[in-house]
Amino acid sequence: MASPVKTDLAGPRIDKGLDDVYVKESSICFVDGQRGRLLYRGYDIRDLATHSTFEETAFLLLQGNLPNREELEKAKGDLAASRTLPPSVLRLLRSMPEHAPPMDVLRTAVSYLYNFDPERDDTTRAANLRKAWRLVGRFATIVATYERMRKGQRVVRPDPKLGHAEDFLRMMKGKRPDPVSARMMDVALILYADHAMNASTFAATVAASTLSDLYSTIIAAISTLKGPLHGGAIEAAFEAIERIGRPEGAEEFVLNTLRNKERVFGFGHRVYKTYDPRALILKEFARRLGEVNGDDTYYRIATAIEDTVVRELASRQIYPNVDFYSGLVFHGLGIPKDLFTPLFAVSRIAGWTAQVIEYWEDNRLLRPLDWYVGPKDLVYTPIDERS
């Protein structure tokens, strides 16, 4: 692997990629990349995936502790109320250009939503926590509602009696999901809810460090999540599986990709140097969905890709990341592929807001340096004298 640190006798150490740079202390999320462990506020992701709900996990990330029964009921009620969008935002969604990518629609809608937040100018921690909760609720409705609008289907209003994940699927599909699908969605939202100082959280933190508002930090995060080296990898990984089409084609696909010095999307991670614990849970969901839906072709292609990548790249510590099997899970739940990355955001909004609010407790402007290597002392040439 090329060293990310460039040193030059005449220049400073350049931390390309910022691999080893710490920008804050945090008590939100711990990632042990060597052992494949992920903790939210000290709780193992596997325990949360087994016992918790997205509402409870979002509360944990934002408030710092697991809620008692009364706190959880209140949080669920607040979240359910937040799922209702202001009518102007519904009008905005209707006015989006045909074929607008859902990720861009989400970014635009969040930007517009800022204008309707009654506490938009209140920068206290308490107000920011309330805004965060409103954003968590609204993200799900924006994504589900836009999906129905673009298909010319009737908009389904949120149902405050349902859990967040279940209601998301209901608003998107127009009918209540079965309990197994609702639970898989819930767990997927738990798994994606935070991941320490990843690229989108860092982008949000940079915006936060200028003392911009919460909504603006989230727009920076959404924009950063979109790229295929980050959240966009879910779609890219799934598209590869679709293109391969049959399990027998997987090995050749991987070998060709590596021969061409290209990336196999859904593999490798800046921090994990072993299996991503989230990928292991999602892999099992993908297997079960293949079984339930009576077609495991994509699952078999995916495991054949995994076998080949691990065989070829394990010595470089490259394993499936969270984005490899999640596309199969979302597909198995009947979600179209251009909603995969927006769905990541529907969950990660909890972590983004928690991280930004934490950063503001001890804010410092993030302002790194670049090392200028261009020319100096050039003489300005009038335009008529330029060749």
Question: How many other CB atoms sit within 10 Å of the CB of residue 369?
Answer: 7
Nearest distance from C-beta of residue 45 to ligand ACO, angstroms: 14
Q: Does 233 bind ligand ACO (CB under 6 A)?
A: yes
Catalytic residue list contains 194? no
Interface mask toward ligand ACO for 13-52; x: CB under 6 A: ----x-----------------------------------
d(CA 188, CA 341): 12
Catalytic residue among 44, 104, 159, 230: 230
Q: Does 323 bind ligand ACO (CB under 6 A)?
A: yes
Q: Which stretch binds ligand ACO (CB under 6 A): 124-132, 167-175, 207-215, 266-274?
A: 266-274
d(CA 309, CA 287): 19
Among 81, 91, 316, 371, binds ligand ACO (CB under 6 A): 316
Q: Does 273 bind ligand ACO (CB under 6 A)?
A: no
d(CA 32, CA 316): 17
Q: Does 83 bind ligand ACO (CB under 6 A)?
A: no
Beta strands in 253-374 (DSSP E): none
Q: Does 182 bind ligand ACO (CB under 6 A)?
A: no
Q: Does 253 bind ligand ACO (CB under 6 A)?
A: no
Question: How many other CB atoms sit within 10 Å of the CB of residue 376?
Answer: 5
Q: Does 319 bind ligand ACO (CB under 6 A)?
A: no
Q: Does 120 bind ligand ACO (CB under 6 A)?
A: no
List b or e across 237-276, with b for residues whose CB sees 16 or more CB atoms inside 10 angstroms.
bbebbeebeebeebbebbeebeeeeeebbbbbbbbbeebb
d(CA 100, CA 98): 6
Catalytic residue among 269, 276, 296, 331: 269
Among 137, 163, 177, 266, binds ligand ACO (CB under 6 A): 266
Residue 320 vs 332, nearer CB to ligand ACO: 320
Instruction: Report whether 234 contacts 326 (CB < 8 A).
Output: yes
Sheet containing 29-32: which strands, arranged edge to edge? 29-32, 37-40, 43-44
Instruction: Report whether 254 contacts 302 (CB < 8 A).
Output: no
Containing H/E element for 185?
helix 179-192
State how beta strands 11-15 and 5-8 pair: antiparallel
Residue 171 vs 236, nearer CB to ligand ACO: 236
The residue count for binding ligand ACO (CB under 6 A) is 20
Residue 57 vs 128, nearer CB to ligand ACO: 57
Catalytic residue list contains 195? no
Residues forming the site for ligand ACO (CB under 6 A) = 1-2, 17, 229-231, 233, 263-270, 316, 318, 321-323
Write out the catalytic residue numbers: 230, 269, 323
